[in-house]
Amino acid sequence: MSSNGTPNGAASLPAPGLATAALHADHPNHLADDNYAVAPSISLSTTFRSPHPDSANAKLLEDVGKGEAEFDMQDPSFHIYSRYSQSTNIRCEKVLSQIMKSHALTYSSGISAAHAAVLHYAPSVIAIRKGYHGVHVSIKLYARGRNVKMIDLDDDYAAAVAEASDGSKGSDVDEGQGAVKRGGLLVWIETPLNPSGEARDLAKYVRKAKAVSGAHVVVDSTFAPPPLQDPFEQGADMVMHSGTKYFGGHSDLLCGVLAVKDKKEWTSLWTDRTYFGANLGSMEAYLLLRSLRTLTVRVQKQSRTATLLAAWLHSLSSNQDGQVAAEDEPFAGGKIVARTYHSSLQPRTDLDDLVTKGTAPEDPTFDPAQQMPGGHAPTFAFRTVKPEYATFIPHLTTYFTPATSLGGVESLLEHRCKSDPTEDARVVRVSVGLEEFEDLRADLRDAFSKVLQREGAK
Ligand SMILES: *Cc1c(COP(=O)(O)O)cnc(C)c1O
């Protein structure tokens, strides 16, 4: 890999764009290997033949043991044991690092990545508001037996840190791999939010956090993978993804990703991962690498279709009969859909209309378009007029499957309160796949008609 990120040492080329990097960032240098396999091999071995005692690699290991040399775990020249490194996963991390313009690590799931992020910063105060429920449960596991103060994103950060029982403002912990200020404030921001697909004003919360010494901002960016947004642009310290969703993209692997700008911080995360063992499985690494090749085309189409669907659903509640297409008249004027939520429908002014209790939307001056230059969220939500509609609509569709999760190539609908009982029982989450927009719209129209028929027949 040359310094500008082009493979094969092709320094004569400019740094590759995102789609090109997703295809080539991990390819071997053809000057060193002129017959490399275009599709990577599946590598399952957990253990590897150790270097001969007279070899340079044995000498390197000896020097590393004495602290006299460093072994680059991001690009190791040989492998020892797969909890330390494994070739397919190294390739995934090369691709992820390039497309996230940072240093990325993979984990066994999004939730293990979230847990690793919290352990890494070891905060005494955590500011968070709603979003993916599992992250809250994971934070509770972290807080077990520790003195951790939980606050809201809009609370006074400095006051909370001052009040934190240990009075900790963070301390530099240098574990020989780079200093990370631990023990202070962690601001956890999910954007776009689950399940609404509405964006939070990242720059605003980063500004607020950075006014507090030792504070860190982690962004759960699962709902807007590259190329939709890059939270580092707004000043995030770490970006987290459930790779199970868009990076995996085919509903067939569990994965988590953390990315940081500093290589030393990457090494610290790598050491932690090695000793709590939340590594991505080797089969999953292979599937993930295969999926990353098509990330940009998938996500861009999913984002475009979601934006069209959100606009159409929004028209059903905001327009009356006669102002909509003839096929839509039975549902116009909010007969089925009371409200649609999506980053493309921001800024909005009806601030007391909450998709989730306790999640006030952003200020009406905040326009997510600048924060999401690559497109809007491919997952969003709508609220029906009655809970029965939200219960039955997902089961009356043909192309949408009633199921939890998101980010796959097949579209899904979820009656969200089944997964998160704190959500409004009238809310349906829409994960848009790769089907044609017209087919998905026809499928929803059909389900809306059927739910009205069902009601009429009662
Ligand atoms: C799914 C999800 C997670 C958890 O990821 P898993 O891969 O299921 O462990 C975290 N955050 C968000 C926003 C998610 O959608």
pLDDT block averages, 10 residues each, the chain of length 458: 51 92 94 91 96 96 93 94 97 98 98 98 96 95 95 96 68 55 94 96 97 96 98 98 98 98 96 97 98 98 98 95 94 96 92 78 91 98 97 98 97 95 95 98 98 91
User: Residues near ligand 1 with C-beta < 6 Å?
Assistant: 109-111, 132, 134-135, 190, 194, 220, 222-223, 242, 244-245, 254, 256
Q: Which residues pair with 189 in a beta bridge?
A: 219
Of ligand 1's listed atoms, the one at least distance from the Cα of 406 is 15
Residue of 191, 219, 222, 223 best suited for mutating to test ligand 1, as the one with most atoms within 8 Å of CB: 222
pLDDT at 363: 86
pLDDT at 176: 45
Residue of 109, 111, 252 best suited for mutating to test ligand 1, as the one with most atoms within 8 Å of CB: 111
> Which has the closest alpha carbon to 228: 246, 213, 210?
246
DSSP letter assigned to residue 29: P
pLDDT at 323: 93
User: Using an 8 Å Cβ cutoff, are 93 and 270 in contact?
Assistant: no
Cα separation, 17 vs 146, whole angstroms: 44
pLDDT tens digits, one per residue of 262-307: 999 999 999 999 999 999 999 999 999 999 999 999 999 999 999 9
Q: Is 178 exposed, middle or buried (0-12, 13-18, 19+ CB in 10 A)?
A: middle
> Which has the closest alpha carbon to 355: 205, 223, 193, 151?
193
Q: Which two structure tokens, joined as six digits, stand for 284?
A: 């999953």
Global pTM value: 0.95
pLDDT at 88: 97
- Spell out the residues 6+ positions from residue 65 whose beta carbon is closer than 8 angstroms to its own: none
Q: Which two structure tokens, joined as six digits, stand for 65?
A: 């043991």
Q: How far is CA 25 from CA 8, 267, 270, 300, 451, in A?
A: 10, 20, 20, 20, 48
Of ligand 1's listed atoms, the one at least distance from the Cα of 111 is 9
pLDDT at 3: 43
Of ligand 1's listed atoms, the one at least distance from the Cα of 114 is 10
Long-range own/partner contacts, residues 89-94 (CB < 8 A, 24 or more apart): 89/279, 89/280, 89/282, 89/285, 90/26, 91/26, 91/40, 91/285, 91/289, 92/26, 92/280, 92/285, 92/288, 92/289, 92/292, 94/1, 94/25, 94/26
Q: What domains are defined for the chain?
A: 18-292 (3.40.640.10), 296-342+377-456 (3.90.1150.10)
Residue of 194, 253, 380 best suited for mutating to test ligand 1, as the one with most atoms within 8 Å of CB: 194
